[in-house]
Structure 1
Amino acid sequence: MRMIFLFIDGFGIGEDDAAKNPLKSGKASNIQYILENYKVFPTDACLGVAGLPQSATGQTSIFTGVNASMVLGRHLSGQPTISLKKVITKSNLFSELIKKGYKVTNSNVYREEYLVKMHDPKERRYRPSVTSVMTHACGIPFRTTEDYRKGNGIYHDITGEILVSSGYNVEVITPDEAALRLYRISREYDFTLFEHFMTDLIGHKADINEAYKTIEKLDLFLGSLIKLINLDEDVLIIASDHGNIEDVSLKTHTFNKVPTVVIGNIPEKGDAAVWSLTDIMPLVLKIFDKQ
């Protein structure tokens, strides 16, 4: 069994209103098919703490199984603090799978300036994300723009348009090609992570047309990926940290539950309910333990 884990930032379960929810538009047919035909757990992102769910605490909770909002006594946006970095470094999804003898990888491509600056304590713009802290803590090689040129990595925007606009001499790829890259990478590992956070960035703009474009690109990517995976042999999990893009009438995150989607070959007794973000890591480990 191989598992692909898609983390989609700011991707909640919203109302059936295409005027403010791009997931209900005709540009999200693959997403809607997935949500209607596979196992979807509506997952609490509030974690028993008052206030809107945020990225640093939500992502830490997903990838460590620890209620990070309870640890801090609040929800934290952006990148993890020193306290959360300690939680991530102590135990995370990568490290626990590695202990069990599995091969894991982060398929995301990182710009060189990010890799140079993210560990500088004085740096504010390039602070490491939860998945970056996790990758570094486990000694997993970061994929670079050279890997991207060789077809051995995916940029977080799926197509690499941001790399080109940032001055990198690389090609823009289609969502189909990005899905094929992710699939090929996943053939070499037991667990492959891909993180997409344009959904959160665009959600904050509250621009329905920009949201449609972002969702359409993600939808094409997911549709192609589903076709490539042999669901009798492998597992695809889709998870998110909080809602956002599903309600572009707001520029903030939402209190909506997020979909945790489990697709594919789930071994007997490898299934479990996912009520909260903290249940996602235990579910992944249980699936691997029962294969």
Structure 2
Amino acid sequence: MGHPEDAPSGSVWEQDLPTLRPIIDAGLALDTTLGVAGLPQSGTGQSCWLTGQDAVRRMGKGGAGEHFGPHPGPTLQALLRESALPVRLKQAGLSAALLNFYPQGYFAAHAKRPRYGCFPFSFLAAGLALNPPDLPSISPTLGLRYGSPWTATQTLSELAHAGEEVARAAQHRDLLVLDLWLSDLLGHEGKPDAPPELGAAGRRYMQHLDAFLGGVLGAGGRAVISSDHGNFEDLRVKSHTTARVPFAGSGVDLGRPRDIMQAGAVMAGWFGLLERVGG
């Protein structure tokens, strides 16, 4: 989702988010276009984050660049196999895990037609299992139902407790990741005459994220939050946007990146991997 500075009046950012909003306001706003025309997409955007390299310029003819997604095709898959952060962490003897819960239907569907997103693809490329049995399993919907009207299935206190569990688990891992995609799904429901329940669901999702993050930080965890493109910040449209995205965190040095590629390199540097990240 886009940064609140680039969001229209009345966006989901305009509510009381006592943990999330101060962190976002103290952080950075990053470019997602990397100088290439068109709307940013998840395949190239997430590959920039995961590798610290300009995945957008890897696409298109003659180095012209192209925004591509949502899933990584052969070009991006090759880049992720070689340079994704989970792969490099594993090679360096460090530990990482993806905490998303994946139902059995997900695995059955991908057994027939593999179309993994960049995050599960990268962890699998590193030889790391999805649904790791010794770690908390977190629904990427953060306690909302998958379909309209996206009612709550968990309370804010339950989400805060889940955040506390993640913080405790992080004491024994170098990196834990959550790929939270419901905001993108809600963003693609946007339209000029969006129904009230869509805005209500968007605000509810942000409240759930705030509660979960509060649990993580309250239990002593460190956290970083960002996105690969804008759309959820403007529910008047169903497409992605060119809004800048947040790069914010607690207990980490964000550096001074200007775009999502540079921020991906910053994150690699936290683990001593900066010298292994190309331009």
**TM-score normalised over the length of structure 2:** 0.82
Match of 2:47 in 1: 60
Please give the alpha-carbon distance, in whole angstroms, between the structure 1 residues aligned to 2:6 and 2:78: 37
Matched, 1:136 2:124: yes
Matched, 1:279 2:266: no
Once superposed, what is the RMSD of the aligned Cα atoms? Answer: 2.5
- Which of 129, 140, 150 is the aligned partner of 1:156? 140
Task: Report if aligned partners of 1:61, 1:277 keep a CA contact under 8 Å in 2.
Answer: yes
Task: Report if aligned partners of 1:58, 1:277 keep a CA contact under 8 Å in 2.
Answer: yes
Task: Report if aligned partners of 2:6, 2:243 keep a CA contact under 8 Å in 1.
Answer: no
Unaligned runs of 5+ in 1: 1-9, 164-170
Matched, 1:23 2:13: yes
- Which of 209, 220, 228 is the aligned partner of 1:241? 228
- Which of 208, 220, 225 is the aligned partner of 2:199? 208
Task: Report if aligned partners of 2:167, 2:217 keep a CA contact under 8 Å in 1.
Answer: no
Query: Of the two structures, which has the highest relative contact order with CA contacts closer than 8 Å and spacing of 6 or more?
Result: 1
Pairwise CA distance, 1:119: 4.8
- Which of 75, 78, 84 is the aligned partner of 1:86? 78
Please state which structure has a larger fraction of its residues in strand. Answer: 1
1:157 partner amino acid = T
Task: Report if aligned partners of 1:119, 1:127 keep a CA contact under 8 Å in 2.
Answer: no
Stretches (4+) displaced over 3 A: 11-18, 160-163
Match of 1:184 in 2: 168
2:127 partner amino acid = G
SS in 2 for 1:143: coil
Match of 1:49 in 2: 36
SS in 1 for 2:4: coil
Task: Report if aligned partners of 1:79, 1:128 keep a CA contact under 8 Å in 2.
Answer: yes
Pairwise CA distance, 1:16: 6.4
Pairwise CA distance, 1:11: 4.1
Matched, 1:196 2:185: no
Task: Report if aligned partners of 1:12, 1:244 keep a CA contact under 8 Å in 2.
Answer: no
Pairwise CA distance, 1:161: 4.4
Task: Report if aligned partners of 2:51, 2:264 keep a CA contact under 8 Å in 1.
Answer: yes
Please give the alpha-carbon distance, in whole angstroms, between the structure 2 residues aligned to 1:213 and 1:262: 21
Match of 1:108 in 2: 100
Unaligned runs of 5+ in 2: 61-65, 148-152, 191-197, 274-279
1:239 partner amino acid = S
Pairwise CA distance, 1:159: 2.5
Task: Report if aligned partners of 1:64, 1:92 keep a CA contact under 8 Å in 2.
Answer: yes
Please give the alpha-carbon distance, in whole angstroms, between the structure 2 residues aligned to 1:128 and 1:265: 29
**Change beyond 3 A, Cα 1:71–1:141:** same
Please give the alpha-carbon distance, in whole angstroms, between the structure 2 residues aligned to 1:158 and 1:80: 25
**TM-score normalised over the length of structure 1:** 0.79
Pairwise CA distance, 1:29: 3.3
SS in 2 for 1:262: strand
Please give the alpha-carbon distance, in whole angstroms, between the structure 2 residues aligned to 1:277 and 1:15: 16
Work out the number of aligned pairs and report it.
254
**Change beyond 3 A, Cα 1:265–1:192:** same
